[in-house]
Amino acid sequence: MTQASTQANFPRGVDLLRDPLLNKGTAFTERERDQLGLRGLLPPPVRTMEQQALRVMANVRSKPDDLERYLYMIGLQDRNETLFYRALVDNLEELMPVVYTPTVGKGCQLFGRVFRRPRGLYISADDRGQIKQVMRNWPRQEVSVILPTDGERILGLGDLGASGMGIPIGKLALYTACAGIHPGKCMPVMIDVGTENEEFLNDPLYLGLKRHRLKGDEYDALIDEFMQACKELWPDALVQFEDFANHNAFRLLEKYRHTHCTFNDDIQGTGSVALAGLLSSLEVTGRRITDERVLFLGAGEAATGIGEMIAATMVQAGLSHEEAQRRCWFVDSKGLVVASRTDLTHHKKPWAHQAEFVKTLSEAIEVIKPTALIGASGMTGAFTPEILQAMARINDRPVIFALSNPTSKAECTAEAAYVHTEGRCLFASGSPFPSVHYQGRTFSPGQGNNVYIFPGVGLGAIAVRAKEITDGMFLTAARVVAELVTDEERATGNLYPSLKRIREVSGRIAVEVAKQAFREGLAQEREPASVEALVQSLRYEPDYVEYV
- Which of the residues are catalytic? 100, 171
Q: How far, in Å, CA of 202 to CA of 212, rounded?
A: 12
**DSSP assignments along 380-399, one per residue:** TT-S-HHHHHHHHHH-SS-E
HSE at residue 139, side-chain half, CA atoms within 13 A, is: 8
What angle is formed at CA 382 by the lines to CA 377 and CA 387, rounded to 5 degrees? 125
- Nearest by Cα to 69 from 52, 87, 51: 87
Q: DSSP label at 336?
A: B
Q: DSSP label at 260?
A: S
User: For residue 330, what are the contacts with CB-CB under 8 A and spacing of at least 6?
Assistant: 295, 296, 298, 299, 303, 304, 307, 336, 337, 348, 351
- Nearest by Cα to 498 from 480, 477, 484, 512: 484
What is the CA 209 to chain-centroid distance, rounded?
26
Could you tell me the sign of the dihedral formed by the alpha carbons of 279, 285, 286, 291, in that order?
A: negative
Q: How far, in Å, CA of 30 to CA of 152, rounded?
A: 49
Q: How far, in Å, CA of 214 to CA of 92, rounded?
A: 38
Q: How far, in Å, CA of 443 to CA of 166, rounded?
A: 32
CB 159 within 8 A of CB 152: yes
Q: DSSP label at 467?
A: S
Q: How far, in Å, CA of 95 to CA of 87, rounded?
A: 8
- Nearest by Cα to 407 from 153, 156, 102: 102
Q: How far, in Å, CA of 169 to CA of 74, rounded?
A: 9
CA R_g for the chain:
24
3-state secondary structure 429-455: ECCCCCCEEECCEEECCEECCHHHCHH
Residues in the chain: 548
- Nearest by Cα to 411 from 381, 384, 391, 386: 381
Main-chain phi, psi angles of 436, to 5 degrees: -120, 130
User: For residue 537, what are the contacts with CB-CB under 8 A and spacing of at least 6?
Assistant: none
Q: DSSP label at 120?
A: S
CB 163 within 8 A of CB 109: yes
Q: How far, in Å, CA of 38 to CA of 28, rounded?
A: 8
Q: How far, in Å, CA of 462 to CA of 189, rounded?
A: 19
